[in-house]
Structure 1
Amino acid sequence: MKKESEESSMDHHSYTTEEVAKRLKVSKLTVYDLIKKGELPSYRIGRQMRIDATDLEQYIKQMKTGKIKGTPVKSEDSRGLDTFIISGQELTLDMLAKRIENRLPSSNVLRAYQGSLTSLVKMYQGEGSIVSLHLFDGETGTYNVPYVKRILVGQPCTMINLLARNVGFYVQKGNPKNIKTWDDLSQSSIRFVNREKGSGIRVLVDEQLRIQNLNKERISGYEWEESNHLGVATQVANGKADVGVGSEKFSQIVNVDFVPIMKEQYDLVILKNKENEELIEVVKGILQSEEFHNELKAIGGYDMTKTGQIIYEIK
């Protein structure tokens, strides 16, 4: 059975980073490092990073023949304290990553385009350095803190505000179906496009449907999932969907109108341990700097009232 499995994997057209990590018996962090160093070719499908099966087999063959110095296992042991992964899809996270590398010249900052809830669970399991969160809690009407309390049980951490941003409905130009409220999603003539499970927007959608007693089975397209804001907005722009939910910024990239629903709090969570001591101080310094604030102002559309503030800590 094992041989059959190995042979079938040769025919597998591509792998996720998680699958590669299992195959090489290393962590996902090591896989990201190999990709960034150019030792393992990769490409993206949407927001997901993939490695072609042929490239992976070639890498394994080169390892065995000694054409690649060292092994993934050694890479695992020697990755040091300087490689950090920031999860999330917010555009300003790329700015943050560059600034961290500027302030910590020896650092290697990687990006993982995962949803908030998925990333938080993975942090509890030991993956990721900085997790970005925008998770709405219907019971309290607040963001993020209830989820950190429940998921990062016994894990000392600090949560710092990045920004606040508008979220709302993406609708076709002119809003021909006059979509304004959550209740409108249940109209039989309206086609909805959802986000994937584990994303902050999906949590918002599900929480709003729950607290407003709306039956998701009555929403046409509820099971139709896109993996990012841009994917949702694009489906609305090309007329395949009438409405989706996402942040205002992405509505400006494609040809859709935006109906604001609420302002969401976008925070960063970092585990408090010896390895992250300097990282926490650097991130706070960046977020509190006039330079970073000016850059956000230049982009426009963000509320920076709490940017750089400590929102919550587990000691």
Structure 2
Amino acid sequence: MARKDDTIVCNVKAFRMNKGWSQQELAEKIDTRRQAIYDIESGRYLPNTAIALRLARVFGCRVEDLFVVQAEPEDQPVHLLSDTDAPTTRLTLGRVRDRLVGLPLHGAESIPFGLRSADGLLNPDKKSASILSSSDRLDKTIILMGCDPAFDILGHHVSRAAPEMRVHCRFASSHRALSHLAEGLAHVAGTHLHNTGKAESNVVVASQKLAGLRSSVLGFSLLEEGLMVANGNPLGIRTVADLAQPMVRFINREPGAALRVLLDDRLQRAGIDAARINGYANEVHSHREGAYRIACNVADAALGLRAIAEAFDLGFVPITAARCDLVIPNDISNHPTVQVLLDVLQSAALRREINAIPGYESSITGKMIAEL
């Protein structure tokens, strides 16, 4: 018997794809709506007995093959290796002989250490490369462009589910990520543009950039954005209006960056001329660069995420929460690694970890936002 805290793993999608059926075709075979099939496969809806039996009948299998009870992992003693009382629940774990050692993923430890190994070396002609990785590994690698630092976590979950698959995450603003997606230079683009009216900016801009390329827009995360400031916020910065104070040294983002658009919108609402802000023209191209400037005491405030501020032991002044979406062209959705990524987006494990990141929330993770 399933316990209350057990997870029901749905295998309907795997059975459907093995048959080569679309969600609409399966829905017609069991006399239900396509949306119901989507909700079943995404884990948002556990079907009643009648629907479960119909599914088993058309697939020629048992109900137990389609819906498997997966017990939650049991707790184990852990030896916490930490010099401080890190306010985090996320751990890197390793077993040393008979002891499970936990390394808190907090502050600088939450940012990857070391250099990344290359797949190839660029030749002098700048037009070819000497390949170091196998062709099979390259075929199972996808490129995800965007600026949500949690994309690396998504990539790790994909590799855990299928060790031969790999997600290469590359930092890019929302506009740049969508442009590269349209140009065929990425498999997936992340976007977290801010709504200035009733329209969904992520959807509108993606539709414009992709210019008729049929794609799906899926929710990934809700993330808290604002101003990163020195630890303890010594200048008492509370709103964007405080950036106009003469003593505040500000670091901006580049034009077109979602946070730059957010700042300009808030300054306009407050009736503040950007020229009054000391450092408005000083730009960086990532959250991390802005945080580093504050940590080195060459700036007092920069645009960024709560998660990045905490990684650099900085203070944070929230402005808003933005929705980060993933945009995937339909013709790429059958890529084997993209298929694993889509399954991982529906997993409880990914949602739990997203919820454990400072300033993040997973209520929209894996939700279909729009079809372009």
Do Structure 1 and Structure 2 share a fold, with TM-score over 0.5?
Answer: yes
Q: Does 1:39 align with 2:120?
A: yes
Deviation track 1:117-155 (CA, whole Å, cap 9, x = no partner) reads 111122122221111111113234855123223322212
SS at match of 2:278: coil
Paired residue for 1:234?
A: 292
Paired residue for 1:284?
A: 342
Greater share of helix residues, 1 or 2? 1
Aligned amino acid, residue 87 of structure 1: M
Larger deviation, residues 153-162 vs 232-241: 232-241
Shift of 1:172: 1.9
Q: Does 1:265 align with 2:332?
A: no
Deviation track 1:212-264 (CA, whole Å, cap 9, x = no partner) reads 44322222111111222122122223322121111000111223211111111
Contact 2:191 2:325 in 1 (8 A): yes
Aligned amino acid, residue 272 of structure 2: L
Paired residue for 1:115?
A: 173
Paired residue for 1:45?
A: none
1:1-315 alignment runs, 5 A limit = 38-40=119-121, 56-57=123-124, 82-103=140-161, 107-140=165-198, 143-273=201-331, 276=334, 278-314=336-372
> Residues 59 and 218 of structure 1: is their aligned pair in 2 closer, same or farther, counting only changes over 3 Å?
closer
- Distance, in Å, in 1 between the alignment partners of 2:131 and 2:208 is 43
* Structure with greater Cα Rg: 2
> Residues 215 and 56 of structure 1: is their aligned pair in 2 closer, same or farther, counting only changes over 3 Å?
farther
CA RMSD of aligned residues (A): 3.1
Contact 2:216 2:330 in 1 (8 A): yes
Paired residue for 2:89?
A: none
| TM-score, length-scaled by structure 2 | 0.60
Contact 1:137 1:146 in 2 (8 A): no
- Distance, in Å, in 2 between the alignment partners of 1:69 and 1:140 is 48
Contact 1:133 1:266 in 2 (8 A): yes
Aligned amino acid, residue 57 of structure 1: P
SS at match of 1:136: coil
Identity of aligned residues (%): 29
> Residues 81 and 273 of structure 1: is their aligned pair in 2 closer, same or farther, counting only changes over 3 Å?
farther
- Distance, in Å, in 2 between the alignment partners of 1:206 and 1:112 is 26
Larger deviation, residues 153-162 vs 209-218: 209-218
Contact 2:239 2:317 in 1 (8 A): no
Number of residue pairs aligned between Structure 1 and Structure 2: 255
- Distance, in Å, in 1 between the alignment partners of 2:208 and 2:126 is 41
Paired residue for 1:50?
A: none
- Distance, in Å, in 2 between the alignment partners of 1:174 and 1:300 is 17
- Distance, in Å, in 1 between the alignment partners of 2:257 and 2:361 is 21
Larger deviation, residues 167-176 vs 242-251: 167-176
Shift of 1:271: 0.9
Paired residue for 1:51?
A: none
